[in-house]
């Protein structure tokens, strides 16, 4: 069911692993009175195992994942923030096919800062190794279909900048 309210927003916080999608997405939920969805929760066990083994996902690995994400967004009847890499324009286009009215925000940060975040998360048990950062950066297709926001400063300030831009 699509959003019933014209104030309903569906926002995808995109970026490489460690760019701050979850942290900033959660902050943004407070500003928009929205729910939060993490795309990592939609990965198949095989995809998680592949990434944990240091192997980047291929386009074929993402087909069902993107479909599940797009359908989940389309079914939500309230404002929703999705933390999702959405690195390629084709991935973003697939999500748009399944859910009208999506807004994409690309979080960027210094590569070494991102690498340090991934390493820190890895010590906490997250499946994504820092060794995959370079492949994610190589895959990233920034474009005019994204609002680019640098993730610098306290999370609440970054979320406020996003809020003011969208």
Range of the domain at 33: 10-165
Q: Which two tokens stand for residue 164?
A: 């003011």
How do residues 128-146 score in pLDDT, each as one tens digit?
A: 666 677 888 888 999 999 9
> Which portions of the chain are predicted below pLDDT 50?
1
Number of structural domains the chain divides into: 1
pLDDT confidence of residue 122: 57
* Inside any domain, residue 22: yes
Quickly count: other Cβ atoms within 10 Å of residue 53's Cβ: 9
* Inside any domain, residue 87: yes
* Inside any domain, residue 2: no
* Inside any domain, residue 1: no
* Inside any domain, residue 4: no
* Inside any domain, residue 69: yes
pLDDT confidence of residue 57: 87
* Inside any domain, residue 5: no
pLDDT confidence of residue 1: 44
Continuous H helices in the chain: 21-32, 45-52, 59-75, 89-98, 111-123, 133-139, 155-165
* Inside any domain, residue 16: yes
CATH number at residue 77: 3.40.50.300
- Total-model pTM: 0.89
pLDDT confidence of residue 133: 75
């Amino acid at each position: 069911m699509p959003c019933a309210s014209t104030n309903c927003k569906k926002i995808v916080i995109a970026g490489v692993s460690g760019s701050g999608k979850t942290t900033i997405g959660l902050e943004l939920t407070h500003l928009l009175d929205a729910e939060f969805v993490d795309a990592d929760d939609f990965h198949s066990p095989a995809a998680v195992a592949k990434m944990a083994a240091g192997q980047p996902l291929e386009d074929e690995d993402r087909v069902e994942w993107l479909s599940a994400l797009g359908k989940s967004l389309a079914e939500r009847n309230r404002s929703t923030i999705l933390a999702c890499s959405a690195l390629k324009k084709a991935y973003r286009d697939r999500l748009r096919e399944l859910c009208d009215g999506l807004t994409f925000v690309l979080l960027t940060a210094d590569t070494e800062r991102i690498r340090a975040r991934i390493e820190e998360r890895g010590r906490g048990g997250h499946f994504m190794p820092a060794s995959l950062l370079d492949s994610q950066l190589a895959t990233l297709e920034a474009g005019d279909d994204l609002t680019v926001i640098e993730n610098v400063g306290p999370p609440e300030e970054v979320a406020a900048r996003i809020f003011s831009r969208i």
